[in-house]
Amino acid sequence: MEYIIALGAFQALIALSLFIGNRKRKPADSLLNWLLICLFSHLTIKFIIYAVSENAMIQNAFNTFIDLAYGPLLWMYTNKVLNDRYRPQRYFYLLLPTLAAACVFFTIAVKIIYHPAKAESLLAYYNNITGYLILASGIIYPVMTLMLCYRMPAFWRSEQQLIRRMSTCFLVGPALWLIVNIIQPFQLLNTHDLHIIIRIVAYSNLLLMSVFIIRYRMVMQAINNETGDDVELPVPPDMPEPVMLVQEKENLSVTVQPVSMTRKAVLSETQQALIAERLALLMEEKKVYSDPDLTLEKLASLMKTPRHHLSEVLNQYLHRSFYQFINDYRMQKVLNLLDQCRRQEVTPNILSIAYEAGFNSKSAFNQYFKKTTGFTPTEYLKQSGDSVSVSIKEALSALQRSVQTH
């Protein structure tokens, strides 16, 4: 038993470290972090109880108050994924049963240390009440969460899969309670063995949830890192060799400065067209624009093309600055997803969509969104469906034309 608990706590700690160490966080990740903190605290408390206490009743029948927090946190997380404007602080009262149970839990723990005989009746009373509350919470919140989950658009597939798996794990508790109440009258197992089986299944279930979260985090990390891998693209044999690589630092800005056209072209128009085609292929197939740390140097490295050649193609052939070109692709993805949400009548999480598309600055995204669509993100959410739909489609058409090659 202790090994399962310790392994579960370790897995929860690993998952939490993956989220804390990740620079590209989604707005809903903070709630998932709280869920992991609860998992880790729950299993740590249980490990201490099994390691320190020799009282079988305390080991097998001392409900942990944290069980009451899982359902509300999962439900809040799902709402936050669906809608960035959702404020979980407004629903703090859902965690009041957890806080009340925590106070009683630690009171009983103190009594067990100093007055063990007087603690047994209070412990039995506490277990009865929290047992029914945990059972109700383990049914109501997962069902509500699954109902919300079916409203999620397809592009939240990873989150949807995680939420479904965790909801299923939480429903295991009530299912186990039902099975126990069915077989108990037949006395197939004695009470001690039955308690041990229940605890093993419950703690294995918590361990499984930690594994699901780790898998989700690794999938997200793999998606983010995919754009950082070297992409083997053919280099034309007649490409001139670079004379010098000059490192420049470009800042993200939504203001496009006019490009000087007086510089003499190093590449022929055919060579520029070839690089432009390879660039478009890289954007469409590898979606490198979703890398928030993408720079001209990094993009040139991915294309196996000298930096100044790529800059020449952008400025003189495509007539766009690097960041204007990249942000047009990012905005195109944002608008496609927003249009999909509107068709499915789903309230979009605009900021999460922006981060997914590669924007790493909320203010820059808001300015670029306003410049492209004529609305701020907040105004977009308040507008009527028809007027916004026409505006978004017009902006999307303009972006699609702008990202096409010369």
Burial 181-197 (b: 16+ CB within 10 A, else e): eeeeeeeeeeeeebbee
CB distance 399 to 330 below 8 Å: no
Residues of the chain with pLDDT under 50: 226-262, 405-406
Q: Please name the amino acid found at residue 253.
A: S
**Nearest of 14, 13, 77 to residue 42 by alpha carbon:** 13
With a CB cutoff of 8 Å and minimum separation 6, the contacts of 296 are 248, 250, 307, 310, 311, 322
What local confidence, expressed as pLDDT, does residue 257 receive? 46
| SS3 assignment, position 12 | helix
What local confidence, expressed as pLDDT, does residue 252 receive? 42
What local confidence, expressed as pLDDT, does residue 16 receive? 62
- What is the pTM assigned to this prediction? 0.59
**Nearest of 261, 380, 259 to residue 324 by alpha carbon:** 259
With a CB cutoff of 8 Å and minimum separation 6, the contacts of 266 are 240, 308, 309, 312
What local confidence, expressed as pLDDT, does residue 245 receive? 39
What local confidence, expressed as pLDDT, does residue 68 receive? 92
Q: Rounded to 10 degrees, what is the CA torsion of 152, 153, 155, 161?
A: 30
CB distance 329 to 61 below 8 Å: no
What local confidence, expressed as pLDDT, does residue 226 receive? 44
With a CB cutoff of 8 Å and minimum separation 6, the contacts of 334 are 350, 353, 354, 357, 359, 369
| CA dihedral (134, 135, 136, 142) positive or negative | positive
What local confidence, expressed as pLDDT, does residue 30 receive? 84
- Alpha-carbon gap, residue 238 to 271, rounded angstroms: 8
Tokens 């050649």 found at: 309
Q: Please name the amino acid found at residue 86.
A: Y
DSSP one-letter string for 66-88: THHHHHHHHHHHHHHHH-TT--G
- Alpha-carbon gap, residue 7 to 127, rounded angstroms: 26
What local confidence, expressed as pLDDT, does residue 75 receive? 93
Note the helical H segments in 83-233: 96-114, 116-149, 157-183, 191-226
Residue ranges of domains in the chain, CATH in brackets: 2-226 (1.20.1070.10), 236-243+252-406 (1.10.10.60)
How far are the Cα atoms of 69, 259, 281, 296, 373 from residue 324, in angstroms, in the given order?
45, 12, 18, 12, 15
